[in-house]
Amino acid sequence: MKVLVTGGAGYIGSHTVKELLKKGHEIIIFDNFSSGRKELVCGGEVIHGDLRSKEEIKAAFENHKIEAVLHFAALIQVGESYTNPQKYYLHNLITSLNLLETMLKFGIKYFIFSSSAAVYGIPQRIPLEEDHPLNPINPYGTTKFMVERILQDYDRAYGLKYVSLRYFNAAGADPDGQIGEMHDPETHLIPSILLHLLGKKDNFQVFGNDFPTPDGTAIRDYIHVTDLARAHVLALERLTAENQSQAINLGSSRGYSVLEVVKAVEKVTGKKVNLKFGPRRQGDVPVLLASSQKAESWLGWQREFSELEEIIETAWKWHQKH
Ligand SMILES: NC(=O)c1ccc[n+]([C@@H]2O[C@H](COP(=O)([O-])OP(=O)(O)OC[C@H]3O[C@@H](n4cnc5c(N)ncnc54)[C@H](O)[C@@H]3O)[C@@H](O)[C@H]2O)c1
């Protein structure tokens, strides 16, 4: 298929482009390179455009016979979304509306959306299943929730078919070492520890050791970015075959505390982490853990990288080179 990938020069978008290309799809990357990198573009045609501009989106659709859209482009810092919510509603919500409006105009009806575990808010039960109530507790999660709701309405009213993929914590790097995670600032756990070990930071700060968990640190569900990318390829294939909209978790059903991740990093790298404990961050919940049953049954998704050490190994290989 001819697929438009917004944010295809970013971390998860670039890994997905790589997997889509392997399956023979034709790729148009649409990215404003605000956090995307040229080094992460691993093929396809690149349009330097901004989703805040309807004109730029329209031009992309006019110039290519696009059949489906994968929408990764967004701002991703939960903390910043508290202090500057307007920026998040403009960049994540309005941009998505612009994109959907143009898709409808051009009669394109397949959409894969990068949603997030942040749509659930404070879990009432663990693991999180897709029918768990959605009650986001930060503006970033609210933008994802709002887009999901808009998609439901657009399906009912206009027949737009979508898959909302609710990612848990994406981590690791392309096993070939070609692409990897390059966020700036880096707020994600595994790369933050690795950057510390590479001498970029004196210590590694743990946000909160008074959570109601066995070791007091927050538990999260880590999923290898290549497994995540492959789930997008499956979602696209399944969506176009079944013509049925879905919301699906992408996680591993297994949780690790921050201290367990630190231990695993020390094991993989053979280096000692200089830990510093700080207060909890606003909006951090004790445990986030996905049920991945629906991804397995509906998508037929099987993870290749099931061990945390494997995820860390690929990330460590990448970070040492870049
Ligand atoms: N990284 C995670 O663990 C995680 C977890 C849950 C959900 N997500 C979602 O996955 C998606 C991708 O995340 P990522 O970690 O790859 O982020 P990223 O910052 O690496 O990639 C985002 C890409 O979007 C582009 N972009 C941003 N605003 C744009 C705009 N207005 N117009 C055009 N391009 C724009 C950036 O330049 C970048 O290439 C995001 O929607 C994010 O919310 C990520």
CA 134 to chain centre: 18
Which residue's C-alpha comes closest to atom 15 of ligand 1?
A: 11
Collect contacts of 63-66 with beta carbons under 8 A, ≥24 apart. Answer: 64/2, 64/4, 64/28, 65/2, 66/2, 66/3, 66/4, 66/28, 66/106, 66/108
pLDDT in tens, 129-148: 999 999 999 999 999 999 99
Q: Which two tokens stand for residue 302?
A: 């099987």
Ligand 1 center from residue 160 Cα (angstroms): 22
Q: Give the mean pLDDT of 225-243.
A: 98
Give a three-class secondary structure readout of 251-304.
CCCCCEEHHHHHHHHHHHHCCCCCEEEECCCCCCCCECCECCHHHHHHHCCCCC
Ligand 1 center from residue 272 Cα (angstroms): 31
Does pTM surpass 0.95? Answer: yes
Is the confidence at residue 282, as pLDDT, over 90?
A: no
Query: What is the longest distance spanned by two Cα atoms in the chain?
Result: 56
Q: Give the mean pLDDT of 286-291.
A: 96
Q: What is the Rg, in whole angstroms, of the alpha carbon atoms belonging to the chain?
A: 19
Q: Which two tokens stand for residue 222?
A: 């880590």
Q: Kind and range of the H or E element at 79?
A: helix 78-83
Q: Which two tokens stand for residue 307?
A: 């061990």
d(Cα 284, Cα 290) in Å, to the nearest integer?
Answer: 16
pLDDT in tens, 104-131: 999 999 999 999 999 999 999 999 999 9
Q: Are 5 and 13 in contact (CB under 8 A)?
A: yes
Give the pLDDT score at 283: 81
pLDDT band at 202 (very low <50, low <70, confident <90, very high): confident
d(Cα 54, Cα 49) in Å, to the nearest integer?
Answer: 10
Q: Which atom of ligand 1 is nearest to the CA of 34?
A: 37
pLDDT in tens, 302-314: 999 999 999 999 9
On average, the pLDDT of the chain sits at 96
Q: Which residues line ligand 1 (CB under 6 A)?
A: 6-7, 9-13, 31-36, 50-52, 72-74, 76, 91, 95, 114, 116, 167, 169-170, 183
pLDDT band at 292 (very low <50, low <70, confident <90, very high): very high
Amino acid at 24: G
Catalytic residue among 140, 154, 222, 256: 140
Q: Which among 126, 281, 124, 253 has a CA at the least distance from the CA of 189?
A: 281
**∠9-179-142 over CA atoms, to 5°?**
50
Domains in the chain and their CATH numbers? 2-171+222-250 (3.40.50.720), 189-220+253-289+304-321 (3.90.25.10)
d(Cα 91, Cα 76) in Å, to the nearest integer?
Answer: 10
Q: Kind and range of the H or E element at 311?
A: helix 308-321
Ligand 1 center from residue 6 Cα (angstroms): 9
Give the pLDDT score at 322: 86
Pairing label, strands 45-48, 26-31? parallel
pLDDT band at 201 (very low <50, low <70, confident <90, very high): confident
The CA-based dihedral angle spanning residues 285, 224, 115, 104, taken in that order and rounded to the nearest 10 degrees:
180
Q: Which among 254, 234, 221, 260 has a CA at the least distance from the CA of 118?
A: 221
Asked, as a colleague might, if the bond just before 127 is cis with ω within 30 of 0, I would say: yes
Is 287 exposed, middle or buried (CB count within 10 Å of its CB: 0-12, 13-18, 19+)?
middle
Is the confidence at residue 183, as pLDDT, over 90?
A: no
pLDDT band at 149 (very low <50, low <70, confident <90, very high): very high
Ligand 1 center from residue 88 Cα (angstroms): 12
Examine the residue annotation and report whether 167 is marked as an active-site residue of this protein: no
